[in-house]
Amino acid sequence: AIDYKTGKIVWRRPYPSAGGNGGGGGGLLTTAGGLVFAGDAGGNIVAYDAANGSPLWHSHIGNVTAPPQTYMLDGRQYLLVAIGNTYYAFTLY
C-alpha cells in the first residue's frame, strides 16, 4: 500500500503463486471503510486492513479472475467476486 500524500510504501503483502512468479488474482478493490480485497494464489478472496495490511477475513472460493467490486442494493453493501464465469456475492456489514 502506498500513502497517496507522500508516495511512500506503508505496507507490503507477498503474493506467491504456484509458478513462483508472484502475483495475486484478478486485481484489488479498496473501500472507503478501510478494507482492501484481493484474490490470492491459494484460491481465496481476502479482506485486509487498509491501514496495516493485516488479513481480516478470507473465503476459499477458487481463483479470482477479475477485480472484486462492490454495489449497494436496498441499503446493503455487497462484495461481488468473479471465479471464471461464476459470481459470488457477499454482504458487507
Digit-coded pLDDT (tens) for 25-57: 678 999 999 999 999 888 899 999 999 999 999
Mean pLDDT for the stretch of residues 12-27:
64
Predicted confidence (pLDDT) at residue 5 exceeds the cutoff of 70: yes
56: left (phi over 0), alpha (psi -120 to 50) or beta: alpha
d(CA 33, CA 84): 27
Is the Cα dihedral 82, 21, 40, 71 positive or negative?
A: negative
Global confidence as pTM: 0.84
d(CA 55, CA 60): 14
Look at residue 58 in the predicted model and tell me its pLDDT.
95
Share above pLDDT 90 across residues of the chain, in percent, rounded to a whole number: 71
